[in-house]
Chain A
Amino acid sequence: MDASEEPLPPVIYTMENKPIVTCAGDQNLFTSVYPTLSQQLPREPMEWRRSYGRAPKMIHLESNFVQFKEELLPKEGNKALLTFPFLHIYWTECCDTEVYKATVKDDLTKWQNVLKAHSSVDWLIVIVENDAKKKNKTNILPRTSIVDKIRNDFCNKQSDRCVVLSDPLKDSSRTQESWNAFLTKLRTLLLMSFTKNLGKFEDDMRTLREKRTEPGWSFCEYFMVQEELAFVFEMLQQFEDALVQYDELDALFSQYVVNFGAGDGANWLTFFCQPVKSWNGLILRKPIDMEKRESIQRREATLLDLRSYLFSRQCTLLLFLQRPWEVAQRALELLHNCVQELKLLEVSVPPGALDCWVFLSCLEVLQRIEGCCDRAQIDSNIAHTVGLWSYATEKLKSLGYLCGLVSEKGPNSEDLNRTVDLLAGLGAERPETANTAQSPYKKLKEALSSVEAFEKHYLDLSHATIEMYTSIGRIRSAKFVGKDLAEFYMRKKAPQKAEIYLQGALKNYLAEGWALPITHTRKQLAECQKHLGQIENYLQTSSLLASDHHLTEEERKHFCQEILDFASQPSDNPGHKIVLPMQSFAQLRDLHFDPSNAVVHVGGVLCIEITMYSQMPVPVHVEQIVVNVHFSIEKNSYRKTAEWLTKHKTSNGIINFPPETAPFPVSQNSLPALELYEMFERSPSDNSLNTTGIICRNVHMLLRRQESSSSLEMPSGVALEEGAHVLRCSHVTLEPGANQITFRTQAKEPGTYTLRQLCASVGSVWFVLPHIYPIVQYDVYSQEPQLHVEPLADSLLAGIPQKVKFTVTTGHYTIKNGDSLQLSNAEAMLILCQAESRAMVYSNTRGEVPTTQARGGRPPCPALCGCEEQSSDAALRIQSSDKVTSISLPVAPAYHVIEFELEVLSLPSAPALGGESDMLGMAEPHRKHKDKQKTGHCMVTTDHKVSIDCPWSIYSTVIALTFSVPFRTTHALLSSGTRPSTASSQCSSSGNSSGQKSLPLLCIAGSLLDFPQLLRNSCLSP
């Protein structure tokens, strides 16, 4: 630094340290060249080749030039490297042989001997030449002679140990050249010395390390040795190498602690196991904490002292290396590690002491980093520092709890004692932070001083941490800190402040389905809501908790009881309902219709049986369970006709509801699959297709707002629908688990009924399932009474008694006593009255019977789909007069079917003269050209129209019965010449009835038309 007379300044371990170079000889000469020398030396970097295969480095050399003194030379076994003189230089400007011989040579010899005595071989002799001086002296020898003499006398094969510096203070190219050569030499020699001396030092150090298993080995001693090396590297600005030394020490110590834990204890480690008496945290504001270093040197350091010192050094070097974020990361590791090591070594630590130490250390590290970075850098590296913020928050919190600063009443005397002890362990504030207003020390002291101060500091820290986590997108971490904060607020009896944090945390856990944290947060939230008097929210949370299987039975019962207690309270406002989502209370599992096709006629009875799975841990008495039903008429839709309904509705009648218990949220990319259906709309008049399209049935699942779809939690505001149509079931006790509930309803208006909401009321608490999905509907139809007449066989044969079946579908009409069918008799068709006519009466509430479909030709009519099991038998009274046959119908309720059979006989009619009669009741023989075309056979049929008056209508129903005429005989008397009266009888008609006029003969022609088929028909008909 300067050529001061002070040979040995006290060891100052700072950046200002430079390798020592001693100067002997002409001090005035040296003083004159010193400014240039100290300026020029570091200008050019020099490559430093390293031992042990380490990469070479470019290094800028600086030196601290001190006057040579024998005391400076290290004695044997000296471990101090910082005070080690790396090079000894002898300065002379002697150019006179006489002078040389008289004084300089002796001086040099003495100098060399001292060096030899200390086996120091790093030296250099500098001869400064001065032209001006030379000129003044007349008796000068050629300059080489002095140099040669010196080389000859001292250098002994090391001629490079003697250099000439020409005119060092001039400004000429020669001077420059000379300087350059000198500096290069100086640098080379310095590096050689470093390599040699450091190498030797390292070797010694390694040897010392290898002895670590020997009993007397001391870590502290070794620490000092290796640290010396670190200092030298730091001095040479090789911070990376210096850091490596500390990291090695760190690792060595850690390994010892681990081994100690494994039972392999080293003696020296017991020094570090002294009880912790001071916990004043890390000190990072000065490069070297001499106090701690000395305590290590004296082997008095505790574990925390050693760790603190080691880290402060690492921190300093990392900051030199411009790696502040690594400081933060390492600090967190260190703090965690220290806590573990103290545990492992079973060091006794007063309660809270470590919390203090960690808290102070966190803040110290943060402040240190803030001190060397600008705001923008800090803001963009929050990810590195936030861990420390969070750790500090956590520690302050536990200190607060420990010292009774979080309780409502404030600290008691025991708490105060503990606080005093903790503060005592902090000691006095260190001078370097004494003037800092926000020093960690001051913060901690203040925070522990009063409840209010603690609150302020804790809130500041918490909010800062939450804000930082949020800003870097670590939402989960932010919410987790928030949860702690909520707990604090709850302790402080400020539930209104706690709520938002609990809700935030809960939402966060719900979003990802973490059941246990959900349960715990909910429990906290329940308490909070209870304090806040949010009855509805509290009850809702309680119901969720009562059904939560992660809680103990006792806890669940408690929350269930909370609901029941509230429900049984007499309400001030009797009409007031608390509406809660059903899901947590009970779940709708399945639904079963009776009749199973969910189609019922007006006035019919429909049963709906549902299975509700109660989630409550105890049986719950429910006043009523109500299903709100939405009614729609939809008269025009073809789909809603009785005919369509009975044919097309699925008939097993059981609808299963998907359980929504799974606590696994539906993630946004796994939304439920689209449920698409084709849709056809037909014109009501001619059933032609009007429109067609595709509809999505689960739109409400897909198009709900994303942010509100907190998949587990129902939105609290469940709208209760008030519909005119409800199904109700009163006084039900829901046992835990599955419960069967049956609703019975009498169908009133025809239309479609959609089950919309399911509500269960317990006192003033209503549990509502706002949407029943999948969609459940039942249909009510109304039907006009109908009469249907059909032959029992495929075709009726004329001339013989044939059975005809009458079917009366009562529809909405009730057949009363005395109601009868009035048949206006047809002349050519007789209704044969039997003594014992019986009618069957069926109810038509059951589903379609398969056998009825097998019989072809029936229109699909629900009324005809009677079920035999509900049949009854009634006598039929038939009264016949000339004109009218009256059939008294048996009494039958609405939506029943009456079936009976009548025998009819189609009489052969007289041959029609002058055209076919169109009169009612007259036979209408004609050819069915259609048939002919179709079958190729000739078939003569005759239609009989019967008019029937039904009791339900003022209009008559006309029914046509078609009789086939199997054959016809024609009696024809063919005259010749005379004109006899023609008698012809005909019972059937064939195709060739005319044009036989040529021969007068009696001909009875029986033309058998299609007889085999008729026979077959009549035999096969039932």
Chain B
Amino acid sequence: MAVCIEVIAKENYPFYIRSTPTENELKFHCMVHTSLDVVDEKISAMAKALVDQRELYQDLLYPTEDYKVYGYLTNSKVKFVMVVDSSNTALRDNEIRSMFRKLHNSYMDVVQPLLQPGGLHPVQGL
């Protein structure tokens, strides 16, 4: 179980944030926001390499003492970021990937197919 999930627009503003427990919300927000630095780096590295981006999963972005931040990037550059408690050792790479895939599917259900990704407004529930 992730402690925080965020869906972030191409322009890096958050669409959707859900975190448990809520008392750490600010910390999670800052953490996820900071981790966007790494996502940006990855995006620009991809652009430089001029390769088709096939792998959506972006791996561990930002490890901290207590939490691990994982990233996922859709083709339209919408970012999914997930914060996981470091002590939760049951979550391996595969679990994280499958969680991201599920999240991506749910996201696809919510956004309309013809909606311009940038024009999306925040949704309060997925």
Residue of A nearest to B19 (CB): A516
Across-interface contacts of A895 in B (CB, < 8 A) = none
Q: Which of B14, B38, B86 contacts A514 (CB 8 A)?
A: B14
A555–B90 CA distance with the chains assembled, in angstroms: 40
Query: Are A477's CB and B13's CB within 8 A?
Result: no
A818 to chain B, nearest CB (A): 68
B106 on interface, CB distance cutoff 8 Å = no
Contact of B119 with A by CB under 8 A: yes
Q: Find chain B residues with CB under 8 A from A920 CB.
A: none
Whether a CB of chain A sits under 8 angstroms from the CB of B12 is yes
The answer to whether B65 touches A480 (Cβ under 8 A) is no
Q: For A262, what are the chain B residues with a Cβ–Cβ distance below 8 Å? A: 89
Q: Does A664 contact B (CB under 8 A)?
A: yes
B65 x A516 contact (CB < 8 A): no
- Given known pairs A258-B89, A667-B11, the reply for A383 and B34 (CB within 8 Å) is no
Asked, given contacts A509-B33, A512-B13, whether A517 binds B65 with beta carbons under 8 Å apart, the answer is: no
Question: For the complex, is A731 an interface residue (Cβ under 8 Å from B)?
Answer: no
Given contacts A336-B63, A474-B37, A664-B121, contact A514 B13 (CB under 8 A): yes
User: Is B34 a contact partner of A480 (Cβ separation < 8 A)?
Assistant: yes
* B60 to A, closest residue via Cβ: A333
| Pairwise interchain contact A669-B118, C-beta atoms closer than 8 A | yes
Q: Does A261 lie at the interface of the complex (its beta carbon under 8 Å from any beta carbon of B)?
A: yes
Q: Which residues of A contact B13 (CB under 8 A)?
A: 512-514, 664-665, 667
Closest-CB distance, A255 to chain B (whole angstroms): 9
Cβ-defined contact, B34 with A476, below 8 A: yes
Chain B residues, CB < 8 A from A910: none
Q: How far is the CA of A663 from the CA of B66 in the complex (A)?
A: 29
CA distance A343 to B66 in the complex (A): 10
B52-70 CB contacts (< 8 Å) to partner A: 63-66
**Nearest residue in B to A472 (C-beta to C-beta)?**
B41
Contact of A332 (CB < 8 Å), options: B38, B63, B87: B63
| Of B22-30, B96-104, B107-115, the one touching chain A | B22-30
Look across to chain B and name the residue whose beta carbon is closest to the beta carbon of A395.
Answer: B65
Closest to B37 in A: A474
Q: When A344-B87, A664-B13 are in contact, do A670 and B37 touch as well, CB less than 8 Å?
A: no
Find chain B residues with CB under 8 A from A261 CB. Answer: 87, 89
Given contacts A476-B37, A480-B30, A669-B118, whether A513 and B14 have CB atoms under 8 Å apart is yes
Q: How far is the CA of A262 from the CA of B87 in the complex (A)?
A: 11
Q: What B residues does A670 contact at CB under 8 A?
A: 11, 118-119
Residues in B neighbouring A434, C-beta threshold 8 A: none
Specify which chain A residues have a CB less than 8 angstroms from the CB of B34 in the assembled complex.
476-477, 480
Partner of B41 from the list A473, A517, A662 (CB cut-off 8 Å) is A473
- With a cutoff of 8 Å between Cβ atoms, the chain A residues found around residue B89 in the complex are 258, 261-262, 344
Q: A339 CA to B64 CA in the complex, in Å?
A: 10
The reply to whether the CB of A475 lies closer than 8 angstroms to some CB of chain B is yes
The verdict on A340 contacting chain B, using a C-beta distance below 8 Å, is yes
Which residue on B lies nearest to A478, using beta carbons?
B37
Q: For residue B86, which residue of chain A has the nearest CB?
A: A340
In Å, the complex CA distance between A311 and B89 comes to 21
Residue total for B at the interface (Cβ-Cβ under 8 A): 27
Q: Which residue of A lies closest to B17 (CB)?
A: A516
A512 touches B37 (CB 8 A): no
CB-nearest residue of chain B relative to A474?
Answer: B37
**Complex Cα gap A262–B89 (Å):** 9
Give Cα distance in the complex from A344 to B90, angstroms.
13
> Which residues of the partner chain A approach B63 to less than 8 Å between Cβ atoms?
332-333, 336
Question: Which chain A positions have C-beta within 8 A of B14?
Answer: 513-515
With contacts A476-B33, A512-B11, A512-B33 taken as known, whether A667 is within 8 angstroms of B118 at the C-beta atoms is yes
In the complex where A332-B63, A475-B37, A514-B13 touch, is A664 in contact with B122 (Cβ < 8 A)?
Answer: yes
Bound Cα distance from A669 to B41, whole angstroms: 20
A520: interface (CB < 8 Å): yes
Cβ-closest chain B residue relative to A508? B33
In Å, the complex CA distance between A512 and B12 comes to 6
Q: Which residue of B lies closest to A340 (CB)?
A: B86
Q: A665-681 toward B: CB 8 Å interface, digit per residue (1/0)?
A: 10101100000000000
In this complex, the member of A343, A477, A514 whose beta carbon has the largest number of chain B beta carbons within 10 angstroms is A514
By a CB distance below 8 angstroms, the chain B residues around A475 are: 37
Query: Shortest CB–CB separation between residue A1014 and chain B, in angstroms?
Result: 66
Q: Is the CB of B119 within 8 A of A514?
A: no
The winner among B9, B33, B66 for most chain A CB atoms within 10 A is: B33
Would you call B2 an interface residue if the criterion is a C-beta within 8 Å of the partner chain's C-beta atoms?
Answer: no
| Complex Cα gap A517–B13 (Å) | 12
A336 engages B25 (CB within 8 Å): no
Determine if B36 is an interface residue (Cβ-Cβ < 8 Å): yes
Cα distance, A336 to B89, chains bound together (Å): 13
**B65 to nearest A CB, angstroms?**
5
Q: Which residue of B lies closest to A481 (CB)?
A: B34
Write the chain B residue with the least CB distance to A711: B13
A383/B65 contact (C-beta < 8 A), A476-B34, A480-B30 known: no
Query: In the bound complex, what is the Cα–Cα distance between A783 and B100 (angstroms)?
Result: 71
Nearest-CB distance from A460 to chain B (Å)? 22
* Complex Cα gap A944–B53 (Å): 90
| Nearest CB in chain B: distance from A666 CB, A | 9
Kindly provide the distance from the CB of B125 to the nearest chain A CB, expressed in whole angstroms. Answer: 17
Bitwise interface map of A from 461 to 487 toward B, beta carbon under 8 Å scored 1, else 0? 000000001000111110010000000
Chain A residue nearest in CB terms to B64:
A336
Mark A121-160 against chain B: 1 for CB-CB distance below 8 A, else 0: 0000000000000000000000000000000000000000
In the complex, chain B residues whose CB is within 8 Å of the CB of A383: 41
Q: B119 — nearest CB in chain A belongs to which residue?
A: A670
Q: Are B65 and A336 in contact (CB under 8 A)?
A: yes
Within 8 A of A (CB), among B39-53: 40-41
Q: How far is the CB of B1 from chain A (nearest CB, A)?
A: 16
Q: How far in angstroms is the closest Cβ of chain A from B90?
A: 8
Interface residues of A in 340-369 (CB under 8 A from B): 340, 343-344
Chain A residues numbered 494-544 whose CB sits less than 8 Å from any CB in chain B: 509, 512-517, 520
Q: Which residues of A are found within 8 Å of B119, using beta-carbon distances?
A: 670
A517: chain B residues within 8 A (beta carbon): 26, 29-30, 33
Contacts of B36 in A (CB 8 A): 476, 512
Residue B33 contacts which of A332, A339, A514, A667 (CB distance < 8 angstroms)? A514
Contact in complex: A516, B87 (CB < 8 Å): no
Minimum CB–CB distance for A1015 against chain B, Å: 66
Which of B12, B13, B29, B64 has its CB near the most chain A CB atoms (within 10 A)?
B13
Would you give the 0/1 interface string for A646-675, flagging 1 where the beta carbon is closer than 8 Å to chain B? Answer: 000000000000000010110101100000
Which residues of chain B are near A665, meaning CB under 8 Å?
11, 13
A466 shortest CB reach to chain B, Å: 13
**Chain B nearest Cβ from A325, distance in angstroms:** 15
Bound-state CA distance A334–B25 (Å) is 26
Return A960 CB to nearest CB of chain B, in Å. 64
Bound CA–CA A515/B33 (angstroms) = 11
Chain A 904-958 residues near chain B, CB threshold 8 A: none
Could you tell me if A343 and B118 are in contact, using CB atoms closer than 8 angstroms?
Answer: no
Q: Is the CB of A336 within 8 A of B41?
A: no
Please give, as numbers and ranges, the residues of chain A lying within 8 Å of B41 by CB-CB distance.
Answer: 383, 473-474
* Cβ distance B16 to chain A, nearest Cβ, rounded Å: 12
Question: Which 7 pairs show the lowest CB-CB distances between chains A and B?
Answer: A513-B13, A667-B11, A474-B37, A512-B12, A258-B89, A516-B29, A476-B37
List 19 additional A-B contacts (Cβ < 8 Å) besides A477-B37, A480-B33. Answer: A261-B89, A332-B63, A336-B64, A336-B86, A340-B65, A340-B66, A340-B86, A343-B87, A383-B41, A473-B37, A476-B34, A477-B34, A512-B36, A513-B13, A514-B29, A517-B26, A520-B26, A665-B11, A669-B11
Taking beta carbons and an 8 Å cutoff, which residues of A are in contact with B? 258, 261-262, 332-333, 335-336, 339-340, 343-344, 383, 469, 473-477, 480, 509, 512-517, 520, 662, 664-665, 667, 669-670
A sample of 26 inter-chain contacts (CB < 8 A) reads A332-B63, A333-B63, A335-B65, A336-B86, A339-B65, A340-B66, A340-B87, A469-B37, A473-B40, A473-B41, A474-B37, A476-B37, A509-B33, A512-B11, A512-B33, A513-B14, A514-B13, A515-B14, A516-B25, A516-B29, A517-B26, A517-B33, A520-B26, A664-B13, A667-B13, A667-B118
